[in-house]
Amino acid sequence: MDLREKLTANNFVVTVELDPPKTLNLDKILREVNCDNFRKAVDAVNVTDCPLAKLRMSPIALSHIIQEKIGLEAIFHITCRDRNLLGLQAELLGASALGVRNILALTGDPPEVGDYIMATGVYDVDSIGLVKMVNRLNNGHEFGEHELKDKTDFFIGVAVNPTAQDLTKEIKRFEEKVSAGANFIQTQPIYDIGLLERFLKLTAHINIPKIIGIMPLKSYKMVEYLNNNLPGIFVPSGVKERMRGMDVEEGIKISREHISEIRKFKEAAGIHIFPLRDMDLVCRLFD
């Protein structure tokens, strides 16, 4: 079964975030995702689109290579930052022709946070507009009024943050993304199961698969960085104190406990792991 079929069948899935390299040599990445233990645990890899506005290989190209050479399903990210309405649709048609049909539609980090502060952020649409665009292509129409000869068949994912500071606004955008045509969500990392439970109750009326984010902590310093620099991610005091003086092994233990709790929620369709470019961490998490 592919990812869409697994989620339709209520199978609990595991997806993993993967950053493309800033190089043409893919040997390391292909070796990591083709590891037996990795393949046993993971249903699909998310291939990011120049995250934090830093140069990386095309996520569509790498997704296609992973699917063709490894046989592992990919979810490619596409942002509104770098392409206008014409460019976005051209990329999507190309991805469909290459058989890369799982997508995560994102607005995208602004250029000024990355290495090319002189670059122009396009943003003809935001993530909601992008979902509408993909949905129109799935129904045989351009974003404008013209009809296409063919229909695409994208399985459309979107990002949602269950611990957003303004949760009411976040859920409203979630509802708008689903109305625009989103098929599943992947959340930002969760460290507070109570906040996740509240989010799942508040969004019980939104009946699409919800894949919950897990990012194993590596150090106490990492906890402080997350709490001080990423306002959308909340690490509660109990977890913070457990990491004091500890290393990644404690972080893995905490993540395993969280995964066990997440599996108890019938609304949770799976987990999405942020390994921070350490693919071995995924295997250790499920060892």
Q: pLDDT in tens for each of the 287 residues of the chain?
A: 999 999 999 999 999 999 999 999 999 999 999 999 999 999 999 999 999 999 999 999 999 999 999 999 999 999 999 999 999 999 999 999 999 999 999 999 999 999 999 999 999 999 999 999 999 999 999 998 899 999 999 999 999 999 999 999 999 999 999 999 999 999 999 999 999 999 999 999 999 999 999 999 999 999 999 988 887 898 999 999 999 999 999 999 999 999 999 999 999 999 999 999 899 999 999 87
**DSSP codes of every residue in the chain:** --HHHHHHTT--EEEEEEPPPSSS--HHHHHHHT-HHHHHH-SEEEE-SSGGG-----HHHHHHHHHHHT--EEEEEEESSS--HHHHHHHHHHHHHTT--EEEEE----GGGSS-TTSPP--SS-HHHHHHHHHHHHTTB-SSSPBPSS----EEEEEE-TT-SSHHHHHHHHHHHHHHT--EEEEEE---HHHHHHHHHHTTTS-S-EEEEE-----HHHHHHHHHH-TT----HHHHHHHTT--HHHHHHHHHHHHHHHTT-TTEEEEEE--TT-HHHHHHHT-
Q: Which sequence spans correspond to the domains of the chain?
A: 3-285
CATH 3.40.50.620 fits 3-285, yes or no: no
What share of the chain in percent tops pLDDT 90?
95
In the prediction, which pLDDT does 287 show? Answer: 79
